[in-house]
A and B are shown apart, each in its own frame.
Chain A
Amino acid sequence: MKERLSRETIAMRAAKELFDGAVVNLGIGIPTLVSSFIPEGMEVTFHSENGVLAFGPVVTAEEAAVKADIDLVNAGGQYVKPLPGMSFFHHADSFLMIRGGHIDIAMLGVIEVSEKGDLANWMFPARGVGNIGGGMDLAFNAKRVICLTEHTTKDGKPKIVKQTSIPLTAPACVDLIVTDLAVIEVTTAGLVLKEIAPGWTPAEVQHLTEPKLIVSETLREIEL
């Protein structure tokens, strides 16, 4: 079995998509890890649905006894640290930031993503129920949507599919897919395989991907 990238490594690669001054919303799951890998010298402003901008890192388990505060949490309910320049606002203002085009990048998790960039990530298929939360507003309205995910499900089925089989979060919303095997750009021509995990071949990645991948002429190994 060839080695795949860890969840942290997926987050590290996705962090390379950040830019200085960007306003960024991180979804629950692998995206949350991105906040630990901001490139040095870059200032990124994190937005959270519950009404906070420019908050700091997540409070670690060791710090929790002293620093955890129920009135300072991110959208996943994790305790975060305050930062100078932080601001608070109510939920309607928080989502006008999202709908109004004030969020540069949303990083979201995936249950299925299609070759057209349709994203499905809110319904738990096994339970037949799900939480839409703030993900739908982000998927529809963030300027750039980047998906972070394992390439396949726990039982090895492709998560990148021709057609999604569960209710959509948003149609044709995804710009870039970063997985534990590849970096794939969603284009009008189809999915372009741009980067690949060390030791993997395009044919092997294609085998675990339902739609046809267009191999970029500049295909290279994933660099961090």
Chain B
Amino acid sequence: MAINKICETFDKAVADIPDGAIILIGNFAGPGGTPYYLIHALARQGAKNLTIIANTAGGIGLTVDYEDHRILFENGQVKKVIASFPFSTSASKPSPAEKQILAGKVELELVPQGTLAERIRCGGAGIPAFYTPTGYGTTIAGQKDVKWFDGRPCLLEKAIKADFALVRAYKADKKGNLVYRGTMRQFNPIMAMNARVTIAEVDEIVEAGGLDPEAVVTPGIFVNRIVKVEENLGFPRHPERSFWVKKA
């Protein structure tokens, strides 16, 4: 039977995420590349005691205010977050995660961004651990194993393995092959490779053959479910046309 990974609704796509799941979420410094619909379906679904692995903990407020995975913290669904940029840049507007972390309700594992990316990549690539120079002699080093290579001290960092990945891509074909648009790519391809179940939110789904195989970034074997966003944002994807950006 021809492979068809289309899932009709966002709610169906996240229905089997259990309490205690470890979840990767594509995210960087703005709404581009954040799987908004999947995040909000997970908020409605209500799974609890989640471990969220993402660049931020949501609500960091760098340039525009938008609805991201901070809603999972607002809902009290998160017990641990692994991130490189967890806190709002504005002291006067702390994110929900910041309040919960400082109150001891949510555990934070703070990771340098390159180490976070590589730990995610390695988890998908079958590399259990790796040495990196980043972090030696800082608070990040903790009790990590240190080894010297070519005259430089390096820390042993372990791969991350997740149960689910919620990723954002631009187009998918029915086999789950993904292409991205601009800086939307960020963490999404390495997260898609990592998780046991990867769910992709996309603008457009085409038949097999509808994507240039030379341009595919995430091969379909890494993707389990694809769900289409109904809105058409047009180009350029202006923040004010993005319904998930909060109006000032």
Contact of A133 among B85, B121, B139, B190 (CB under 8 A): B85
Interface range on chain B (Cβ under 8 Å from partner): 35 or more
Pull 15 A–B residue pairs with CB atoms less than 8 Å apart, ordered by A: A50-B186, A65-B240, A66-B236, A68-B238, A70-B239, A90-B186, A91-B117, A98-B114, A132-B84, A132-B85, A132-B112, A134-B84, A137-B113, A137-B114, A168-B137
User: Could you tell me if B182 and A77 are in contact, using CB atoms closer than 8 angstroms?
Assistant: no
Contact of A92 among B55, B87, B117, B236 (CB under 8 A): B117
User: Could you tell me if A88 and B113 are in contact, using CB atoms closer than 8 angstroms?
Assistant: no
A123-131, A144-152, A174-182, A188-196: which lies at the interface? A123-131
Contacts of A130 in B (CB 8 A): 87
Confirm or deny: A46 has a beta carbon within 8 angstroms of a beta carbon on chain B.
no
Confirm or deny: A51 has a beta carbon within 8 angstroms of a beta carbon on chain B.
yes
Closest CB of chain A to B223's CB: distance in Å? 15
User: Could you tell me if B237 and A71 are in contact, using CB atoms closer than 8 angstroms?
Assistant: yes
Confirm or deny: B229 has a beta carbon within 8 angstroms of a beta carbon on chain A.
no
Residues of B within 8 A of A (CB): 28-33, 55, 60, 62-64, 84-87, 89, 91, 98, 101-102, 110-115, 117-118, 120-121, 132-140, 180-190, 217, 235-240, 242
Confirm or deny: A200 has a beta carbon within 8 angstroms of a beta carbon on chain B.
no
C-alpha gap A168/B136 in the complex (Å): 10
Closest CB of chain B to A1's CB: distance in Å? 27
User: Could you tell me if A91 and B87 are in contact, using CB atoms closer than 8 angstroms?
Assistant: no
Contacts of A70 in B (CB 8 A): 30-32, 184, 237-239, 242
User: Could you tell me if A76 and B185 are in contact, using CB atoms closer than 8 angstroms?
Assistant: no
* Known contacts A88-B183, A99-B133; is-contact A126 B113 (Cβ 8 Å): no
User: Could you tell me if B182 and A136 are in contact, using CB atoms closer than 8 angstroms?
Assistant: no
C-alpha gap A92/B140 in the complex (Å): 19
Among all A-B residue pairs, the 10 with the closest Cβ atoms: A95-B114, A77-B29, A71-B182, A137-B114, A69-B236, A77-B62, A70-B32, A92-B121, A136-B112, A91-B117
Contacts of A132 in B (CB 8 A): 84-85, 110-113, 140
Residues of A within 8 A of B (CB): 48-52, 65-73, 75-79, 88-92, 94-96, 98-99, 124, 126-134, 136-137, 140-141, 167-171
Which chain B residue has the least Cβ–Cβ distance from A130? B87
Contact of B138 among A72, A124, A170 (CB under 8 A): A170
* Known contacts A78-B63, A132-B110; is-contact A68 B183 (Cβ 8 Å): no
Which chain A residue has the least Cβ–Cβ distance from B186? A50
